[in-house]
Structure 1
Amino acid sequence: MFRTALRNVLAHKARLLMTVLAVMLGVAFVSGTLVFTSTISDAYQKSSQKGYDKVDVAVQPRHQDADDRKPGETPRLSQGLLDRAAKVPGAASATGSVNGFAAIADKHGKLIGEGFSSSGANYYPGTGGKDARYPMKDGRAPQGSGEIALDAKTAERAGYKVGDTVRISVDGPVLPQKLTGIFTTDDGAVSAGGSLALFDTPTAQKLYGKPGEFSQIDVKAAAGTSQAALKSAVDKVLPKDAKSVTGKELADDEAKIIAQSMDGMRTSLLVFAGISLFVGIFIIANTFTMLVAQRTKELALMRAVGASRRQITRSVLIEAFVVGAVAGIAGLVAGIGIGAGLRSLISSTGNSIPDGPLVIAPNTVLVSLVVGIVVTMLAAWLPGRRAAKIPPVAAMNSIHAVATTKSLVVRNSIGGAITALGAAVVLTASSSTMLGLGAAVVLIGIFVLTPLLSRPVIAAWAPLLRLFGMPGKLARQNAVRNPRRTAATASALMIGLTLITGLTVIAGSVQKAIDKMATESLKADYVVSMASMTPLSPDVEKKLAAHPDVTATSPMRQSPARIDGDHHQLLRGVNGEAVEKLTKLDFTSGRFTVSGDKVVIDDALSRTNHWKTGSSFDVTFEDGKKGRLTVAGVYKGNDLMRGIMVDNRTLTPHLGEINDNQVMVKTKNGAGEAVKDSLRKALGDNPAIQIQTKQDISDGISRMINLLLNMLYGLLAMAVIVAVLGVINTLAMSVFERQQEIGMLRAIGLDRKGIKRMVRLESLVISLFGGVMGVGLGVFFGWAAGDLIRKGLSTYELVLPWGRMGLFLLLAAVVGVLAALWPARRAAKLNMLSAIKAE
């Protein structure tokens, strides 16, 4: 039986080719994902480990329980602690670190680096007046408030040389700095495309903290002292608000964080690989079903000469094993190429990643082979089981049992029950996980029901097919002749279009909700903020308020507070006199009064705390002082405006550092490019500051949504390609199966063009059937997801992208036409006499 199975594989190489390609694509996606994420993770981990080579023990602030300190209080490390740490037994040196955000402009005024990885730190002279962390490649270290040093990669990208003036921004205002040095570093963020600017320690402390305080102290061990021994010595001089960590622990923690971040990417990509493999299952099952049907006589004769049912099933599974193994190996090789290609693609887009070798882990090889073999054998098991049931008597009359009415009724009943169960889960889902589970169950149920659904849906195309004469009529009859085969072929395309349509509906609806939110919540013409989402200096608001075109401004500040001595809440400071001119809020009770101890709250806080207009509550401010606030009004909150709004004149005296999250601006003549340019010049043409209109805010979110959607389209394209292979495979095997019929049609007058048209129309009908089902299910899932999204986005409403849905149906039609090219050509080239004689 083993030799027989191998001979069957070799005898049907062409028929199994599409199956091999389908499995190979899915395996390539899996192995490519594993290679890519392993390579990136390994590169970042090694880069981060280099950054900790010079750290044996790190002293960090210990974040106490929030109830034991003032709201907003952040522990810091003093100069005295640094001096004590440097003198403990076994310590060679101690270095104090201060860091934060620093936007660096190139010579054209554009921001260098990757936004959040645009950082600043201090140069801490140690032995010999040098900082071992940052060896100088050119020039010297910064020594005053107007000097900086840049990492070599940033200096090279921007074309800066020692002596140039560099424009930087820490919290808004532009700070011209003289470049005194260019250094090298093992910092992973810099290796990944970020930028690093160094200040002298007093300047960095002034910019990022308080004079004489550090965010971390790094202690270097003397020769012969272990990290554990040094940690024990350091622990003896630490106050209760500080803790120590070994360099190895820091590196391990960093490695875990990197691994976790890669896990999210890996999981997302593997989900799409799984979709491709799931689609491939239909193709594999279809292929083996048709192969079994074509070998009815052969299998029945084997039964007649003594082969058992188990041996027949085993022979089919052996064929599947060989096909899966070949596809798995080919997919692994292709996946390695995909992994390397993805890395090169990311580098070519300007998103640098640390250098490192291509990582092909043993589990990648094992998973690729196992996935290829298991998926193929799983899909072939049912056809193999059917093959075993072929009675020996079928060898005498060349027929095998067709699906009975009873079996179809059972199938439809099971399919209806599964679909109903899945729909119930979807409609009552309280989480995205439950929604995804319900959607998967619905898809399985619809697949079971597809043979039943195919007849009425395909029948609806009959009037259009009549326009093509006899080929059109024959195409419709061929499409419904074997509803199970048609269902399996169309289902592959249906799944891909279901996901694409559902994601498009959700993305369009979310975008509409965001547009509505921006329009309904803001009267301000502009919102000014840092591109990095870091706090703004209050000087920015002062410069904007002094601009001749500006009529009203309101900085928005945030401060942690303790409410009623128990729970914590953010207070949002605004300009009480101007905020009503800049926002448009819908009040459910009271009025918009923000002044003194009068505040307004959103409806969610009102329900949670049982507050209403006139309610009062105790507050402990950031500096530990206490007060009492009174609710003047309750408004409907959203993602742009929510929480407790308090007048900045009340809040600001309690702030340790005065910073603004953003500034809302109203101008005389409304939003316009000329006014925006004028405001930008007033702020020093600072690349770190973004000035956005309501439309800009909406467009920015829209770009992110479209970028994500296009990425998902690209990933799901793999499933569509696999579906195309399925249509080609089905049609090619169907043509082979109907050789006699095609020869007879040619003999009675249907020309080659008619044969081609018949096959193409059959493919078109099957593809459009899958397209209609996919678009319909996608709309259903998009609508069902709305209830979950509406909980976090109150302005969400269903938007149907009719244009894109029409494009998806056109895509299904194109798939049908392209998939039929080769089978139609093959059918037209059949010799009619040879075809009529074929068995």
Structure 2
Amino acid sequence: MFKATFRSFLAHKGRMALSAIAVLLSVAFVSGTLIFTDTITKTFDDLFKSTAADVTVSQKSEQSDSDLAVTGQVKSIPVGTTDQVAKMPGVKAAHAAVSVENITVVDSKNKSVGPDGGAPTIGLNWYESDRSPVKITSGRVPQAAGEAVVDADTADRKKIKIGDSLRVIAAPGTTEVKVVGVATFTTTNPGATLVFLETAAAQKAFLGSTDKISDVELDAAPGVTHEQLKQTVSSQLGAGFEVKTKAEAAKDASDDIGTFINFMKYAMLGFAGVAVLVGIFLIFNTFQMLVAQRTRELGLMRAVGASGKQVKRSVVVEALLLGVVGSTLGLAAGFGLAIGLKALIQSFGMNLKGTSLVFNPATPIAAYSVGIIVTVLAAYIPARRAARISPMAALREASAPVQKPLRRRTVIGIVIAAIGVFGLVAAATASSAKNGGFMLVIGILMTLVSFVVLGPVLARTVIPWLGAGFPKLFGPMGKLSRDNSMRNPRRTGATAAALMIGVALVSGIAVFASSMNSSLSKQIDRSFGADFTVQGNSGGPMGPDIYQTVKGAEGVGTPVRARLLPDVEVTYPDGQTSKDQVNAVDKGFDSVWKLKYTAGDASQVGTPGSIVLDEQAAKDHGVGVGGTVKVTFPGGKSVDAKVVALREHVKGGLQFGFGNIPTLPISTLEEVAPDVQDFLIFANAAPGADKSAVSEKLEATLDPFPQVSVRDQADYKELVQGQIKVLLYMIYGLLGLAIIIAILGVINTLALSVVERTREIGLMRAIGASRRQIRRMIRLESIVIAVFGALVGLVLGLSWGVTAQRLLSEQGLEVLTIPWGTVVTVVIASAVVGLLAALLPALRASRMNVLAAIASE
């Protein structure tokens, strides 16, 4: 039986080719994702391990690095700490280090020399160390103020040469420097731009004072372990310092980047899962049709003594062989995909030229598990049907398989659909997103399963309507193509289901994204009261010189600043406390950012000693206008603030703006946290001034600050919508693989259908049908199946998208927008897909030898 199975597999290898490609693509997506993310993870792990000091001493802070980045604050310790720890036992050497991220560096043409992607620009001091990630390969080290060394990748990418002038812009101000050296990474360049200054110059430029450094990096003396040195330093330094070993510092750095890498990995694997699901339908159809075509062959095997179990096992083994072949090829293709992803990320500035791909044992295990399990599962039902073939029935004259009634399938499908519809309705009418989220998932899954189950029933109902005009438009071939599409509704339903899943996801996401676009636009229209805003290009904070520049710009009225500070504790009169981010604003905030105030005087927002609370928080804690709360800031300083207004509570995280956080005056932050920088600056044109002219003058005035941008309301909308579009196109791109596999499914079904109908097509040719007519019949059949799958997918996707919008309407997704342009495009594209998918099967059908086709069984 095994020999017969193997020979059968080889004999039908051409018919299984597209199924093998489906397995290949799915496995390639999975293995390529794992190889790529494992490579990036190991690259960063190696980088952090090789550059971390034996022990690092830095400022101890309750705030995370991400929280500090919002405020513009940086960690620092007294410069004298270096000499203090250098004298401690077990210390071989102590190095004062300065390192500040997210600075801006521009060339003589005021163009940024930083990374084009999301990597940071880092300002550092230069000191000699075996652990340095770079070494001088051209020029010399910086020895005095006004001198700088840049990394070689940045120098090459931005055409920077020794002697070029640069401007280094950081929180303390702007520093003019001349490039005196170029340094090459000794490890992988993670994509960052590095600018090294002489130590004293770096202290002034990045920390604002020569009395501060970022941290002290210690080398352990021979025979002293890192942990021993850490214990010694910790015990003698006392409070206010954080001491980490090499392993701890490397792990913390790896964990920070690992969070993003893991998110990327699981997101890509999720889309790979969609591709695998779509591939199941293709493989199922393949084996279903092969079993039907081999009825006499399998019946003969039963007649000569093979049991039903042996026949079933034979089909399963064929699926196993298909899974092994497809997985092997997919694993190889996964390497190719990983190489492509590596090249893609290098285009964003990350230098991986010397990095080898990482092939962990988990990768082939996952690849073969996906490929083999999916293939065997997809072939199991056809294998069971093969085992039930009667030897006598199989040896009769070949005829089309008898189609079982669809009554049971219809009942099951309707019951599942009812559960799914109930889930969607319950989600749409839920009192909160938390309560309705689970029901939305149930509704999506159940309606998807129900439409797959009801696919054959819908095919019999919808396809006659879709092809109603075919007989008039295309004559007999049009009628035949419509009838052929309904001849085997189970096969048509399974083929269309693959395309249906892809279209449903695309259309559902399109509704969600369009609704988000419209909702955010409405919120911007409602809230945006200023003529212009000034904000950092990367969303980071801005130094005080930018505010002063805006304030002195011609034609600009008094600007209003907004700052953010995380981890602020508010203590209410009832004794309870809440810890949250707060924003601090100037007086006049109520006119530049229009919010609904339910109590108090909005004009008092931003006045000294005031605070604005969310109405729900005020109600929960029994405080109203005129009441007093205690505000405690990171570091322990506290002030009493008087409630001057209550702001309407907004629900959910899809709201544009500052949410429900307390609002303090700028003056309070300047007293307790003077190093917190501006997050946003609002500005209005002076009365009677032309807004366009003022905008142009303001942009020209801010030209020396390339790290910020001036935007009006339309610009803000464009920015937000552009970000949504980028995300949407990324999702479409990842769903593209599932669509490709669905197209292969249509091609596969048509190709096998042509083989199955060889004799029929030969007879049609014999009675006068031309090759052109045969090709037209196959093409029309393909178009009908593709459009049918797309329409069913649209119904599903639109219902999912509408339900998600209704569920999140109270969370900020308040406007429902159906992207009709996308809907029309999907229908037209599906027809084109159907036409293209039929080209090869139609060509093969038209080229059949008439006599050989008639003589075939």
Would the alpha carbon gap of residues 787 and 98 (structure 1) be closer, same or farther in structure 2, given more than 3 Å must change? farther
Q: Cα distance, 1:460 vs. partner? A: 1.3
CA distance in 2 between counterparts of 1:513 and 1:264 reads 26
Counterpart position of 2:815 = 797
CA distance in 1 between counterparts of 2:259 and 2:640 reads 43
Would the alpha carbon gap of residues 347 and 74 (structure 1) be closer, same or farther in structure 2, given more than 3 Å must change? closer
Q: Paired residue for 1:732, among 751, 756, 770?
A: 751
Residue 446 of structure 1 aligns with an amino acid whose one-letter code is F
Counterpart position of 2:87 = 87
Matches within 5 A, 1:142-221: 142-144=143-145, 146-171=146-171, 174-184=174-184, 191-198=190-197, 200-201=199-200, 204=203, 207-208=206-207, 212-221=211-220
- Count, aligned residues: 824
Counterpart position of 2:289 = 290
Q: Cα distance, 1:504 vs. partner? A: 1.4
Mean CA deviation greater in 486-495 or 732-741: 732-741
Matches within 5 A, 1:695-710: 695-710=714-729
The answer (yes or no) to whether the contact 1:56–1:219 under 8 Å persists in 2 is yes
- Per-residue CA deviation, residues 578-615 of structure 1 (Å, 9 max, x unaligned), is 32332222333444122234443344544554555454
Matches within 5 A, 1:261-660: 261-353=260-352, 355-398=354-397, 402-405=402-405, 408-428=406-426, 430=433, 435-436=440-441, 438-466=443-471, 467-559=473-565, 561-564=568-571, 566-576=577-587, 578-593=588-603, 594=605, 595-603=607-615, 605-606=617-618, 609=621, 611-620=623-632, 624-635=637-648, 637=650, 638-642=655-659, 643-660=661-678
The answer (yes or no) to whether the contact 1:526–1:671 under 8 Å persists in 2 is no
The answer (yes or no) to whether the contact 1:76–1:214 under 8 Å persists in 2 is yes
- Calculate percent identity across the aligned residue pairs: 35
Counterpart position of 2:430 = none
Aligned residue for 1:107, secondary structure, equals coil
Residue 733 of structure 1 aligns with an amino acid whose one-letter code is L
Counterpart position of 2:104 = 103
Aligned residue for 1:112, secondary structure, equals coil
Q: Cα distance, 1:427 vs. partner? A: 4.4
- Per-residue CA deviation, residues 742-800 of structure 1 (Å, 9 max, x unaligned), is 233333333322222211111111110001011111111111221454354x2532111
Counterpart position of 1:819 = 837
Residue 314 of structure 1 aligns with an amino acid whose one-letter code is R
Aligned residue for 1:552, secondary structure, equals coil
- Per-residue CA deviation, residues 38-63 of structure 1 (Å, 9 max, x unaligned), is 222222222222212xx111123334
Mean CA deviation greater in 259-268 or 715-724: 259-268
Counterpart position of 1:62 = 60
The answer (yes or no) to whether the contact 1:493–1:720 under 8 Å persists in 2 is yes
The answer (yes or no) to whether the contact 1:192–1:353 under 8 Å persists in 2 is no
Q: Cα distance, 1:532 vs. partner? A: 3.0
Residue 594 of structure 2 aligns with an amino acid whose one-letter code is K
Residue 512 of structure 1 aligns with an amino acid whose one-letter code is S
The answer (yes or no) to whether the contact 1:421–1:441 under 8 Å persists in 2 is yes
Would the alpha carbon gap of residues 204 and 658 (structure 1) be closer, same or farther in structure 2, given more than 3 Å must change? same
CA distance in 1 between counterparts of 2:669 and 2:323 reads 67
Aligned residue for 1:109, secondary structure, equals coil
The answer (yes or no) to whether the contact 2:599–2:647 under 8 Å persists in 1 is yes
Would the alpha carbon gap of residues 698 and 305 (structure 1) be closer, same or farther in structure 2, given more than 3 Å must change? same
The answer (yes or no) to whether the contact 2:331–2:367 under 8 Å persists in 1 is yes
Would the alpha carbon gap of residues 812 and 608 (structure 1) be closer, same or farther in structure 2, given more than 3 Å must change? farther
Aligned residue for 2:683, secondary structure, equals strand
Counterpart position of 1:12 = 12
Mean CA deviation greater in 101-110 or 55-64: 55-64
Would the alpha carbon gap of residues 575 and 626 (structure 1) be closer, same or farther in structure 2, given more than 3 Å must change? closer
Counterpart position of 2:68 = none
Q: Cα distance, 1:690 vs. partner? A: 1.7
Residue 394 of structure 1 aligns with an amino acid whose one-letter code is A
Q: Please state if 1:745 is matched with 2:757.
A: no
Residue 422 of structure 1 aligns with an amino acid whose one-letter code is G
Would the alpha carbon gap of residues 620 and 42 (structure 1) be closer, same or farther in structure 2, given more than 3 Å must change? closer
- Per-residue CA deviation, residues 410-435 of structure 1 (Å, 9 max, x unaligned), is 22222222233334444445466764
Counterpart position of 2:125 = 123
Residue 632 of structure 2 aligns with an amino acid whose one-letter code is T
Q: Please state if 1:782 is matched with 2:788.
A: no
Mean CA deviation greater in 396-405 or 271-280: 396-405
Mean CA deviation greater in 696-705 or 558-567: 558-567
The answer (yes or no) to whether the contact 1:92–1:221 under 8 Å persists in 2 is yes
TM-score (norm 1): 0.91
CA distance in 1 between counterparts of 2:152 and 2:63 reads 41
Aligned residue for 1:463, secondary structure, equals coil
CA distance in 2 between counterparts of 1:597 and 1:90 reads 51
Aligned residue for 1:460, secondary structure, equals helix
CA distance in 2 between counterparts of 1:581 and 1:790 reads 26
Residue 446 of structure 2 aligns with an amino acid whose one-letter code is V
Q: Cα distance, 1:807 vs. partner? A: 0.7
Residue 601 of structure 1 aligns with an amino acid whose one-letter code is L
The answer (yes or no) to whether the contact 1:59–1:217 under 8 Å persists in 2 is yes
Q: Cα distance, 1:110 vs. partner? A: 1.8
Aligned residue for 2:677, secondary structure, equals coil
TM-score (norm 2): 0.89
Matches within 5 A, 1:221-236: 221-236=220-235
Mean CA deviation greater in 148-157 or 237-246: 148-157
Aligned residue for 1:797, secondary structure, equals coil
The answer (yes or no) to whether the contact 1:517–1:795 under 8 Å persists in 2 is no
CA distance in 2 between counterparts of 1:126 and 1:358 reads 31
Mean CA deviation greater in 696-705 or 772-781: 696-705
CA distance in 2 between counterparts of 1:159 and 1:764 reads 53
Would the alpha carbon gap of residues 712 and 671 (structure 1) be closer, same or farther in structure 2, given more than 3 Å must change? farther
Would the alpha carbon gap of residues 357 and 487 (structure 1) be closer, same or farther in structure 2, given more than 3 Å must change? same
- Per-residue CA deviation, residues 260-287 of structure 1 (Å, 9 max, x unaligned), is 4322111111111111111111111111
The answer (yes or no) to whether the contact 1:142–1:149 under 8 Å persists in 2 is no
- Per-residue CA deviation, residues 282-341 of structure 1 (Å, 9 max, x unaligned), is 111111111111111222222233211110110001111111111111111111111112
Aligned residue for 2:89, secondary structure, equals coil
CA distance in 2 between counterparts of 1:665 and 1:44 reads 42
Would the alpha carbon gap of residues 811 and 569 (structure 1) be closer, same or farther in structure 2, given more than 3 Å must change? same
Which consecutive unaligned segments of at least 5 residues does structure 2 have? 65-70, 428-432
Residue 584 of structure 1 aligns with an amino acid whose one-letter code is K
Aligned residue for 2:848, secondary structure, equals coil
Would the alpha carbon gap of residues 136 and 835 (structure 1) be closer, same or farther in structure 2, given more than 3 Å must change? closer
Counterpart position of 1:69 = none
Mean CA deviation greater in 454-463 or 480-489: 454-463
Report the aligned-residue RMSD: 2.9
Mean CA deviation greater in 159-168 or 382-391: 159-168
Residue 306 of structure 1 aligns with an amino acid whose one-letter code is G
Would the alpha carbon gap of residues 673 and 39 (structure 1) be closer, same or farther in structure 2, given more than 3 Å must change? farther
Counterpart position of 2:787 = 768
The answer (yes or no) to whether the contact 2:464–2:482 under 8 Å persists in 1 is yes
CA distance in 2 between counterparts of 1:464 and 1:613 reads 71
